[in-house]
A and B are shown apart, each in its own frame.
Chain A
């Protein structure tokens, strides 16, 4: 049944480490998204991708990069993790091109703690 899988539910990393968060969807969706969720701030878009090898910055891209080499996989990369990147990270996917089709299917989330 599940559709969007995030590889790690909980991660603990040290400051300066390179962190990879992986997301895979099995619905053949064109769009994939990475959000960051913090209490009182809601969901903030980090990056999104409309197609393989394409990426667009969201509202808070600083300190992050992404990779989409295959349609089903969208990776979020923290090149040098910092404590202010401690957060819940949500991956989502959706169809593209249909009006109102931006009904997102979310993964379960990855809670990252940077020490």
Chain B
């Protein structure tokens, strides 16, 4: 079964600094998708970024970028120029149509942004 591991339950960063959130996953599939979702306090979860495994180029969305290492099964999220609004729970997730066809989430990581 596919698993997603977020080894750091909490992190903090100073405003305007850069922080990297780690995620590893386990799969035997070659074609899959990886996601980072963000859940701000008392607000709904939203998609931050998505990566297709067949694409070698790392996905980017403004201040958010990923470091996708397929061989290492690693999918880290880098947040540049951190803002107070980035404070949230972040969840890494995996999906494969060849697998269970369900999105598999990691346990989440709480990011605090200090002013």
Q: Which A residues are closer than 8 A to B by beta carbons? A: 4, 40-45, 48, 58, 90, 92, 99-100, 102-104, 106-109
Contacts and interface: CB of A to CB of B under 8 A. Distances in A.
Interface of B: 9, 33, 35, 37, 43-47, 50, 52, 91, 95, 97, 102-103, 105-108
A4 to B, nearest CB: 8
A43 B91 contact: yes
Nearest to A99: B97
A99 B101 CA distance: 10
Contacts of B37: 104
Query: A interface, by DSSP: helix, strand, loop or mixed?
Result: loop
- Residue among A100, A104, A109 with the highest chain B CB neighbour number at 10 A: A100
A103 B97 contact: no
A100 B95 contact: yes
A103 B50 contact: yes
| In the complex, the 9 A-B pairs of residues with the closest C-beta atoms, listed nearest first | A42-B107, A106-B45, A43-B105, A100-B33, A108-B44, A102-B95, A42-B105, A106-B44, A42-B108
